[in-house]
Structure 1
Amino acid sequence: MTALPMAIRTTPQDTATPAPATRPADAHQVLERCRALVRPALAEAVGRLHPWVGEMAAYSFGWCEVGGTPAVASGGKGVRQALAVLGAEAAGAPGRSGVAAAVAVELVHTFSLLHDDIMDGDADRRRRPTVWKAYGTGPAVLAGDALFALAIETLAAQPGGAGAVRTLSGALGDLVRGQADDLLFAERPWTGPRRVRPDEYRTMAEHKTGALLGCAAALGAVLGGAAPETVTALDRAGRHLGIAFQIVDDVLGIWGDPRVTGKPVHGDLRERKKTFPVLVALGSPSGGRLAALLESGEEPDAAAALIEEAGGRSTALAEARRHIAAVETALAGVPLAARAAGELRSLLDFLVRRDV
């Protein structure tokens, strides 16, 4: 596989004395540090829920099994909560601002996953039954609603909470628009005037994936009273990151190594997903032949080869690089604290540097 050359190296502008040269921050250590900071506050928030609803929330975070027996299961990497902590630190906001923002973002992210799993009919997440499979559809919807309400309550209780709630509400509006478009894309034809265009997909990805990442990066800065231009830059960086991350994920969904992705080879083609490389290839002269292969759901190897020949893979990687460059431009345009900005860059690089 060819490694995607996306490392973010530009030195940030800084108002503080530059720190001595050190080895680049390890993204895994950054994620672990942020999880350790946020976990007590997240557990305290979940503990305020109705016991049954709180159990479903704890199950979704990997803290317990059905029935409440303690468990140690993967609750995800905690990317969004790390972005919230690092965004606040980079903007010079107090530590409590980053933690409160991280709790709210993690609650909202989990709420969205509970509802997404129901809409998509997904029975498993992180090698466990999804909440709706484990507890039922109605209870899972209720748990998601409770997590959303708890996120709003968490922000509203903070100094400067009104602005933070507005920021989160705007991101959620975009997320809903992106999810709606994603669901509607599945019903549109592969070819013809109603086919999904790459620019429509780009907008969908910004809304569905990028909006919450942008909100995560900016929310702690909002709570900490950072300058509007800093908040805007962090939000913009997160949105571009979301698009890049989604497109890289699309490439991996066709050509990724199953040992790395945990997905079967050509899995997205077998599921007939309208991903970015596919949409690019459908606009080429061989689009009609590709559409026939995709419609049949057969010969995924042939479809993957045709997509690559039509430039779907190379165009997707170029598009991802363009958005990573936009991330760096956004971060370099405002003064950020050196150490936190360095950790933020290591995390962004980790999210998009995968074998594709």
Structure 2
Amino acid sequence: MSVLYLDNAATTPVRAEVLEAMMPYLTGVYGNPSSHHTLGERAAQALADARARIATVLGMRQGDIVFTSGGTEANNLAVKGIAIAAQIGRDAGHVVTTPIEHESILESVDYLARVHGFDASRVRVDATGVVDPDAVAAALREDTALVSVGYANNEVGTIQDVAAIARVAHDHGAPLHVDAVQAAGWLPLAGLGADAISIAGHKIGAPKGTGALGVRGRIPVEPLLHGGGQERGRRSGTEHVAGAVALATALELAEAERDEASVRVARLRDAFIARVLDLVPSAALTGHPVERLPGTASFTFAGTSGEAVLLELERRGIVSSSGSACAAGSDEASHVLVAMGVDPTIAQTAVRFTLAHGAKTPLDAVADAVAASVAAVQSTG
């Protein structure tokens, strides 16, 4: 039985163009980019080229790009590194975020509070997952080290007005970090006013284990990894040259396709949402109805178990998820939905469908399978 994969927010397949671009740096050009010989210099040039290409898409300078092992490390480096540097440099002791962020943000903020004595403000979101920039402004203090907000939520797809949040943060002298892991390829990344931006390769057709943090040169960052002083001292460790080339290639491809793909995929998404809501009386859309990622459709199905619906869908050849892949195996209700005011019992019925950049086929049959799967679970519940 063929499988229809609708879990692209968790990971995407590696694109053929990306694999082709990175292959030379897994084979013939295998030198360490810190080595001062021909193979090392060729690797270093490839690394510099990848850094420049990523910087262009992010609207930053080449030296602003720090290569990481993925989005989680990029978020950790941004939140901990910027906040601790501000604590050292100007006795800052406060950070601002929201309760719907990725676990790598929330747990980094918890770490700052537990180990470094920071105060943390978590600005509430409304029932659609939107944070009010004025509420962010109200939470800011003179000693705020950092504001960290996700551009688009990984579970429900709600998009934040990060440009407005950047303005209020800067009015109070605080830098803004934007987790753009889910937004890359779907939304513009340059011109946001962000001081730091996280991206991950495996969300846009590059391999897992590739990512970057763009952080403007004026922002001090305390490194989390120490050793050889690579990445201008901000992230020690021999760079993954092939991964950096892969990330740059995937990001450029996704950016080139962004406008057309966003319109096309959003139409498929909207038709799918309408059909599911029409066919399944217990279905409720989660997230903002309009300001959401083009490829994300997320629902709750009262009277079911989200995991049971997923099993029924997979029996019908459809792969999706119940929310963040980073929380897989947890029996707890989604912290995102609970923060949006969804009853925890209902939150445990959540199912998320996320489309690929290249999606072109209407999802009527998938909506029919959703209806059949929900009915099957409800009949045995």
Judge same fold: TM > 0.5, yes or no: no
**When the two structures are superposed, what TM-score results if normalisation uses the length of structure 1?**
0.28
Structure with higher helix content = 1
Considering Cα pairs closer than 8 Å and 6+ residues apart, tell me whether 1 or 2 has the greater RCO.
1
